[in-house]
């Protein structure tokens, strides 16, 4: 690839990173959620949100701002958040593939389940795709247990044959499914997002 194209991509990445710093978010990933939220209106005042793969905490912060004091955000991650969550936000340090279901059920049912879960990448495309799809399926299992009928599910998955199978599973559980590559997602990243609208219960 030409050096100038690599530089262009880095410049785009720097734009979102600088914007996140200026707006006091711990990660640039917040703009992926914001883009989907702006278009589909997932996060409204009073809604209950489960945020899987919450660390360092940008999605949790953004969702908490959007749902306001009448709503609730529950973040879950293996790693701690970069900063203390505000009032109305709960953080659970746990494995999304072996989740504390009783605890999470106590905070539900949820209007929205978000998953930005991502594996530590190995550089081997097929291994990373399988691991990412495993996390996406874990998130779907949790959504199946904790979402209200009619609810929304936004989930990251690495593109590949595993993701295609996962999208078929999603289509069976939601009235409408969209495949989304947000503008702030690096074009060379394998990630895409699935959005399930209208959980069938």
Binding residues for ligand SAM, how many (CB under 6 A)? 21
Positions 123 through 182 that interact with ligand SAM (CB under 6 A): 135
53 binds ligand SAM (CB under 6 A): yes
Q: How many CB atoms are located within 10 Å of the residue 114 CB?
A: 31
Closer of 105 and 176 to ligand SAM (Cβ): 105
Let me know if 200 is a catalytic residue.
no
Query: Which of 44, 148, 156, 200 is the catalytic position?
Result: 156
Angstrom distance (rounded) from CA 23 to CA 20: 5
- Using the structure block, give the residue that is written with the tokens 């895409």: 192
Residues in contact with ligand SAM, shown as a per-residue x/- string from 78 to 117 under the rule CB under 6 A: xx---------------xxx------------------xx
Helices (H), 26-174: 30-40, 58-67, 101-107, 125-146, 161-173
Q: How many CB atoms are located within 10 Å of the residue 84 CB?
A: 9
HSE, CB side, 13 Å, CA atoms: give it for residue 90. Answer: 13
198 binds ligand SAM (CB under 6 A): no
Interface residues with ligand SAM (CB under 6 A)? 26-27, 29-30, 53-59, 77-79, 95-97, 116-118, 135
Catalytic residues: 156
């Amino acid at each position: 690839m030409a050096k100038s194209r690599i530089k262009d991509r880095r410049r785009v990445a720097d734009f979102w990173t600088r914007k996140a710093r200026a707006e006091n978010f711990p990660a640039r990933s917040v703009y992926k959620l914001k883009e989907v939220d702006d278009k589909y209106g997932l996060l409204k005042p009073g809604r209950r949100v489960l945020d899987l793969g919450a660390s360092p905490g940008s999605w949790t912060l953004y969702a908490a701002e959007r749902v306001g004091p009448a709503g609730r955000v529950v973040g879950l991650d293996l790693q701690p958040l970069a900063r203390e969550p505000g009032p109305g936000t709960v953080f659970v340090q746990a494995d999304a593939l072996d989740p504390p279901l009783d605890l999470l059920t106590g905070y539900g049912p949820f209007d929205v389940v978000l998953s930005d879960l991502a594996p530590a990448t190995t550089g081997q495309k097929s291994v990373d795709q399988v691991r990412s799809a495993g996390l996406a399926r874990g998130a779907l299992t949790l959504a199946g247990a904790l979402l209200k009928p009619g609810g929304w599910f936004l989930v990251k998955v690495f593109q590949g044959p595993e993701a295609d199978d996962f999208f078929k599973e999603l289509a069976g559980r939601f009235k409408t499914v969209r495949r989304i590559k947000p503008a702030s997602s690096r074009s060379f990243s394998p990630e895409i997002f699935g959005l399930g609208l209208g959980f069938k219960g």
